[in-house]
Amino acid sequence: MSLFIKLMIGHFLADYPLQGDFLSKAKNHKNPIPGVPWYQPMFAHSALQAGAVWLITGSYWLAGVELVLHFVIDYLKCNNSLSFNEDQVAHTLCKAVYAALLG
């Protein structure tokens, strides 16, 4: 349980204060900031999430998985295929799986 809690704290830090307003808006491919390719801030945000997973678990493999999954989940949210709550549930399930794999 401790690992899951650490992963969730890392998620909340990277999804809220570390993401900031710029990344939050610029990563949206449906409403991009002019002159900013949406995929660059989406990658940066996903890399912050992956970095949190790596720092907490020490696993480059799980960090790589997080990079890809976070990118896809947030893309789907920006595409209105997932609601905000569904997005957060998907991220939480990822962290639960990581904790289970390492637990």
The confidence score (pLDDT) of residue 53 equals 98
Kindly state whether residue 32 falls inside one of the protein's structural domains: no
The confidence score (pLDDT) of residue 36 equals 96
Kindly state whether residue 70 falls inside one of the protein's structural domains: yes
Kindly state whether residue 44 falls inside one of the protein's structural domains: yes
CB-CB neighbours of 10 under 10 Å: 22
Q: Are 71 and 50 in contact (CB under 8 A)?
A: no
Q: How many domains does the chain have?
A: 1
For the cut 90, the answer to whether the pLDDT of residue 1 exceeds it is no
CA–CA gap between residue 64 and residue 67 (Å, rounded):
5
Mean pLDDT of 5-11: 98
* Owning domain of residue 45: 2-27+37-102
Kindly state whether residue 11 falls inside one of the protein's structural domains: yes
Percent of the chain residues past pLDDT 70, beyond the cut: 100
